Amino acid sequence: MIPVFHNCCIIFAVWNFKRGTRSKMDLKNNIELTIEQGVKEAVEELFGQEPVSGQIQVQKTRKDFTGDFTIVVFPLLKISQRKPEETATLLGEYLKNKLEVVHSFNVVKGFLNLELTNNYWESLFQDIYVQADFGIVKEPAAGNPFMVEYSSPNTNKPLHLGHIRNNLLGFSVSKILEANGHEVIKTNIVNDRGIHICKSMLAWQKWGRGETPESTGKKGDHLVGDYYVKFDQEYKKEINTLVEKGVAREDALKNAPLILEAQEMLRQWENGDEEVMNLWKMMNAWVYEGFDITYRELGVSFDKIYYESETFKLGKKLVEEALEKGILFKKEDGSVWADLTDDGLDEKLLLRSDGTAVYMTQDLGTAVLRYQDYHFDEHIYVVGNEQNYHFQVLKLVLKKMGYPWADKLYHLSYGMVELPEGKMKSREGTVVDADDLIAEMYNTAREMSEELGKLDDYEDEEKKEIYRKIGLGALKYFILKVDPKKNMTFDPRESVDFNGNTGSFIQYTYARIQSVLRKAKERRLKWGFQDGKPEVILESKEKELVKLIRDFAAIVREAGKNFSPALIANYTFELVKEYNQFYHDFSILREEKPEKRDFRLCLSEMTGRVIESAMNLLGIEVPERM
């Protein structure tokens, strides 16, 4: 086997690169750039004209054709003044003669397919294999941190399925940005004030009879959520009573006694009424304890937590200052607004007529406070797509207030999660609580594992830990494999499938690889790359695996640019499918040729390492045994 880096010198010595200095490792791992430069020089020499940017297109060859990389010839025909097949043939012959990395070529109409040498792929794999954290940038990038906001719960109800998608997206995006070398501040804004909070407080005050999490045995967030539902039930009764008395429904919604009491409680809270403040602190404390348990179960965390009850004060101050400067305007009823009509939007309320703040007010204060704290390079809000307009307004109002860094705010808008039976409504108590779903995923993983008999020989404690990893892995993967922008339907049982595009299938493949490596160690086999070993001729499926492994670094970069864990998830599924085909078609430990066996062990180990890294970016654990 050719030693690491030696072949690299052979491959690239023939080119005089004009795009700046690159290391040999960079050139090898970016073979597309090498081919592009080769085509550029070929076009200049063969046809006497330098191609402009974008004319040279290098793509991966489709699986139904022979080759590794394909050059699209059509954009070059104006320069060559020849037919597509003739142009492609001339370029292919030039590249094969000038670039030792090209083993052969074939032409299909206007497409030039290049097949690279076995030496290239074998040497490339050696280079990747010796990198402990292949695809992950360990050196921090220059600049200020990225800030990622996710979760953003209300303290009037427990976290539900929609929050799960939010938390999983935010946490995974944070890990992917870190893998691209960015410092990341994971942050949360707790919506702990407002009319919705007062609804739960008022309902507990009226009908709670002193209940506590301890006296009921309920998690605090669930107990408070029950009273949010109770408020809505009683509020609807009052509305219906008023309507029966002849009051218009719109007026009944505004004047029902309960909603008036809740509004009065909010005013008392903003004025610092002692009794209301004590009730608020007690019930919020119950909720925070419940949230912490759910976050731990989900495996997500935060570096900094902000509270709306604190940031809204700064927001009100900013609004008042902007009003004095004439940036905002006041209506006759005393409410304060931003006029955004010249910008294609409408008028936006920032302070109500009674002086109380709205969500936008606290978001203004939170954004300014965060920039003061961290001077972030970019701030990513992980918030559902129903808030698209809200974030348009937020950026625009901040810019009008004189904050140029408002352009650094980015709304990662994601679609809603539904169940097979339809949408959820928290006020009506029809949501799927996160805690209940996590428990259901554990039970589903246990039931399906027992049906398949996969863990029959395991100790009970080891089984429980594997059920936890399978259940949570299934939940996380099923949600994260979907493009964040798309709505999705979550089916717990479908997500725990050991044969489909699921976390369980990927986890099982990882465990299979670890089993192969354990057996190799039990036989005292040693594998790796040393000088003097004979060259290994790669089978087509082995080469396909090397190609996919190589792609991991580029996928991590692309996922970071697009804030998309789905790219990582679906790449991992493709890698796992390819490995299972390889595993099915070729012997590993029973291979008679030692150099072949050792290469396949290296290939299996590297595949396992990439699977583990990829799943870690999704926040998913991979069991060593299943």
pLDDT in tens, 494-552: 887 777 899 999 999 999 999 999 999 999 999 988 765 678 999 999 999 999 999 99
Q: What is the pLDDT of residue 497?
A: 75
Q: How many CB atoms lie within 10 A of CB 279?
A: 18
pLDDT at 28 over 50: no
pLDDT at 394 over 70: yes
Asked if residue 523 is part of any domain, the answer here is yes
Q: Which of 75, 99, 129 is the last residue of a domain?
A: 129
pLDDT in tens, 289-308: 999 999 999 999 999 999 99
pLDDT in tens, 580-613: 999 999 999 999 999 999 999 999 999 999 999 9
**Of the given ranges (78-92, 437-451, 574-588), which has the lowest mean pLDDT?**
437-451
Confidence band, pLDDT 50/70/90 cuts, at residue 426: very low
Residue bearing the bigger pLDDT, 7 or 193: 193
**Would you put residue 451 in left (φ > 0), alpha (ψ -120 to 50) or beta?**
alpha
pLDDT in tens, 228-260: 999 999 999 999 999 999 999 999 999 999 999
Structural domain harbouring 461: 435-617
The pTM of the full predicted model, rounded to 2 decimals, is 0.89
**Of the given ranges (31-45, 146-160, 433-447), which has the lowest mean pLDDT?**
433-447
Domain at 78, CATH number: 3.30.1360.70
Q: What is the pLDDT of residue 539?
A: 95
Q: Which of 129, 154, 188 is the last residue of a domain?
A: 129
Asked if residue 320 is part of any domain, the answer here is no
Confidence band, pLDDT 50/70/90 cuts, at residue 449: confident
Q: What is the pLDDT of residue 256?
A: 97
> What are the C-alpha distances in Å from 488 to residues 161, 372, 389, 483?
11, 37, 21, 9
Q: What is the pLDDT of residue 421?
A: 67
Asked if residue 489 is part of any domain, the answer here is yes
Q: Which of 129, 158, 181 is the last residue of a domain?
A: 129
Q: What is the pLDDT of residue 29?
A: 55
CA distance 131 to 586: 26
Counting Cβ atoms within 10 Å, is residue 412 exposed (0-12), middle (13-18) or buried (19+)? Answer: buried
Domain at 604, CATH number: 1.10.730.10
Structural domain tally of the chain?
2
Q: What is the pLDDT of residue 573?
A: 98
Average pLDDT over residues 82-101: 96
Confidence band, pLDDT 50/70/90 cuts, at residue 418: confident
Asked if residue 217 is part of any domain, the answer here is no
pLDDT at 452 over 90: no
Nearby residues of 309 by Cβ (< 8 Å), 6 or more positions away: 192, 193
